């Protein structure tokens, strides 16, 4: 048989937060947890400051929703206005800011989180462009020629100079195009 302290130590913050609604007496009976579970969750809330704050916020939310659904109008009492005036006279509460951790390892980690995906995309683009550029030429020679294959300047590339027949064929093709043949 498990004693109460063993049960309380097994309750995690996540489990306790999921069961906040079960602690409410207004919850339907099938949703309610056992008495031992409720005691264990209450014990956890008393010992865990984060869960205690979460439970207070949950209760406040629940109360606010219940009051908003109430058919009776809600009127604050005089104590509410006295407290409100006192808080306004005090001014805003100043909460000390937590010091920002400024270390080169934190900066490196943040930079790496941003640069690694960008570099991966760039590498994939370069690989894709390289594969597309180096594909074998298709059936049409003119369409498949790369720019360096079309250049015929012998002083820049090691291609032979055009012959007289090449020049004549080009001139004939230009004239036929202009004449619409």
pLDDT at residue 181, rounded to an integer: 66
Integer Cα distance of 60 and 67 in angstroms: 10
- Tokens at 21, concatenated: 């609604």
Quick: pLDDT tens for 27-50: 555 556 677 888 888 899 999 889
Quick: pLDDT tens for 167-181: 889 888 988 888 876
Percent of the chain whose predicted confidence (pLDDT) is above 70: 73
CA distances from 171 to 58, 93, 160 (A): 87, 88, 19
The pTM score is 0.39
Query: Which of 17-21, 98-102, 116-120 is the most confident on average?
Result: 116-120
pLDDT at residue 17, rounded to an integer: 86
- Tokens at 137, concatenated: 């030429």
- Tokens at 174, concatenated: 């230009």
């Amino acid at each position: 048989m498990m004693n109460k302290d063993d049960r309380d130590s097994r309750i995690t913050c996540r489990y306790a937060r999921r069961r906040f609604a079960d602690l409410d007496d207004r919850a339907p009976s099938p949703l309610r947890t056992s008495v031992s579970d409720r005691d264990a969750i209450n014990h956890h809330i008393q010992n865990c400051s984060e869960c205690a704050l979460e439970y207070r916020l949950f209760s406040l939310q629940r109360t606010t929703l219940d009051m908003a659904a109430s058919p009776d109008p809600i009127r604050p009492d005089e104590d509410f206005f006295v407290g409100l005036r006192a808080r306004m006279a005090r001014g805003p509460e100043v909460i000390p800011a937590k010091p920002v951790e400024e270390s080169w390892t934190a900066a490196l980690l943040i930079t790496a989180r941003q640069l690694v995906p960008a570099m991966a995309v760039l590498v994939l683009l370069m690989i894709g462009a390289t594969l597309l550029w180096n594909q074998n030429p298709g059936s049409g020679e003119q369409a498949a020629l790369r720019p360096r294959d079309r250049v015929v300047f012998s002083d820049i590339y090691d291609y032979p100079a055009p012959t007289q027949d090449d020049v004549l064929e080009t001139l004939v093709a230009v004239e036929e195009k202009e004449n619409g043949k």
